[in-house]
Amino acid sequence: MDAESLYRSQRAYFMKGQTRPAEFRIRQCETLKRAVLEYEPQILAAIGKDMRRPETESYTSEVMMIIKEIDHAVRHIRSWMKPIRVRTSWMLRPGKGYILPEPYGNALIIGPWNYPFQLLLCPLVGAIAAGNTSVLKISEIAEHSAKVIEEMVSRYFEPECIAAVQGGPEETQHLLDQEFDYIFFTGSVAVGKIIMGKAATRLTPVTLELGGKSPCIVTPEVRLETAARRICWGKFFNAGQTCIAPDYVLVQESIRDAFLASLRDTLTQFYGRDIRESADYGRIVNRRHFRRLLRLMENQKVYFGGETNESELFIAPALLQDVSPQSPVMQEEIFGPLLPVLTYRSLDEAIHFIRSLPNPLALYLFSDKKATQKRILQETSSGSVNINETLSQVTSTTLPFGGVGESGMGCYHGEESFRTFTHYKSVLHRSIRFDNSTKYAPYRTPLKYLKRVMRLIG
């Protein structure tokens, strides 16, 4: 089915009102859960073929997160849907005001390749819970995963309600030409700007989940071994192909050497002395991204790692030291297993450096000092902050996930996913039995008296 026909069939389906009842939304969520659980082996196998990601990483970051989102939505859909009563001013009585959550209508969800299931299906949970129909545009880069998604969605859902579309930029363009009521995009800043430009022509609301250079600050008082483990886990999970991975580390200069040694020892503990042989370390998704990362590594001083094998799309975790802030590796989002380690003398210097760059999607701080934590929270801006940990903020159904500035707009996860795909309609309901004639022309109430009354009633 072409993009226009698909859009029109979903528009007609939505207009019949079938997606609005709570029972329908809950059934759709439960159907999605059954689909994911039944296809779990195929999901894990497809990701393994696309990126050689370890099954443990794929299960926890894809299957488990989707199921958590579904279960949370199913428990709360009915309460989320309820009208929200608000206080009605004296001037509007007798009457009542309330806010009515209603679906936008037809949603377009455009997913990325790095977490091809989670970053497409978690937003879908929100769209279903809010009562929308949805078209899922699958990334063509993770091709094995794309095939599984299309097969799974087409088997479990009617296309006029939920449909998955494969293809490249041309297919995405055709979808963007349709009059969707909401667009949800996860991907790069550059493509996000294109999506927003297309949405602007019809004033279509959007959520943009982008990326950027997420900093990680390490202060002298922390336990370096623990910090190194948590940073290595967050950075090299999925071979660094994570939008909220620590992009670079700012370490206080007095502990730089000890910190680098801890990172090196941690990588050996994680993956062994020959990382290429480790079953717990993934690969780069394709040759284009492999060569992009090689270019970022050029002329860099590698403290540890960085071995490559193009035939396997293998790049070992690379710890880079003495990195210039002007080098390409510090000007682009890395999105791979390269970790620049820079130093700072004072916290003022670290904060100034972070503020000189666009707002990141995440910021990581390793410090046990409350004063340091307070300063970072107050003096920097980022989509999220994680103190003494990495990545884990994204797993919570009670913490909104999203960016700020160039790292994105809007958020989702848990109730925020429902809110994202919901229009909150204001409703004022007044009685017809009583009518105050003083508000109508010809105006008889002196303005002086009217002002006094307004001050008294607030």
pLDDT digits (tens, 9 = 90+) for 291-305: 999 999 999 999 999
Within 52-142, residue ranges assigned H as helices are: 55-58, 64-81, 118-129
Q: What is the pTM of this model?
A: 0.95
Same fold yes or no, 3-210+409-423 and 215-402: no
Q: Which residues pair with 186 in a beta bridge?
A: 209
Helix (H) or strand (E) holding 382: none
Catalytically annotated residues: 209, 243
Read off the pLDDT band of 458 (50, 70, 90).
Answer: low
- Cα(408)–Cα(385) distance, integer angstroms: 15
CATH topology of domain 215-402: Aldehyde Dehydrogenase; Chain A, domain 2 (3.40.309)
Residue 94 falls in which region: left (phi positive, over 0), alpha (psi -120 to 50) or beta = beta
pLDDT at 232: 98
Domain ranges of the chain: 3-210+409-423, 215-402
Please give the angle made by the CA atoms of 38, 166 and 294, to the nearest 5 degrees.
Answer: 100
Read off the pLDDT band of 438 (50, 70, 90).
Answer: confident
pLDDT at 278: 97
Indicate the length of the chain as a whole number. Answer: 458
Grouping H, G, I as helix, E, B as strand and the rest as coil, residue 77 is helix
Contacts of 429 (CB under 8 A, 6+ apart): 95, 96, 97, 98
pLDDT at 448: 87
pLDDT at 439: 82
Q: 3-210+409-423 has which CATH code?
A: 3.40.605.10
**Regarding beta strands 318-321 and 301-305, do their DSSP bridges make them parallel or antiparallel, or are they unpaired?**
antiparallel
Contacts of 368 (CB under 8 A, 6+ apart): 221, 222, 388
Q: Averaged over 222-246, what is the pLDDT?
A: 97
